[in-house]
Amino acid sequence: RNKMKLIRIDISNIAYTEKKIPMDSFLDLIEGCEKLLFETGVYKNGPTTIETCLSTFGKPGEALFKVYIPTNIPIEGNDEFQYIEHFTIKQCVSDVTPFDEHLLPKIEEMKQYIQDEGLEMLGDTVFLAILPIFGQHFVEINIPIKEISDAI
């Protein structure tokens, strides 16, 4: 079975916003936020990353989504976005999957992997980096874990 990667997340110059929306509006949220940002003359220089609760992700009803968009220059904070200079997560278990029906099973598989490897999740958080590849959305799923001294 495939070996998952351990990565560190480092993002700089972030336009940050949060929205409470139903799960099925997820892609609209991303596109909407990116469009709003471009209208200010700023462009994105990395994947948009969404933070949400692992336990509610994919469940019906509304959930809180925190949106991090890395930009080429620091933005002025406004009604829509706050500026965050830098954001780091030291260790995540990471894997990439298409943004489709495979997403939720893949998250379950990752949780199982974390358990099997004797690792420990850091809170109830998942970070989803949205990667448009050949016109299809892929998602890099990153689940923060408590740091271990050496990577697997």
Mean pLDDT, 10 residues at a time, the chain of 152 residues: 83 94 85 82 89 91 93 87 94 92 92 94 94 84 85 52
Residue 97, beta-bridge partner list: 139
DSSP lists the bridge partners of residue 51 as 66, 127
As given in the structure block, the two tokens for residue 48 are 């948009």
pLDDT score recorded for residue 151: 53
pLDDT of residue 40: 76
**pTM (2 decimals)?**
0.89
Contacts of 79 by beta carbon, 8 Å cutoff, 6+ apart: none
* Nearest one of 110, 136, 138, 135 to 47, comparing CA atoms: 138
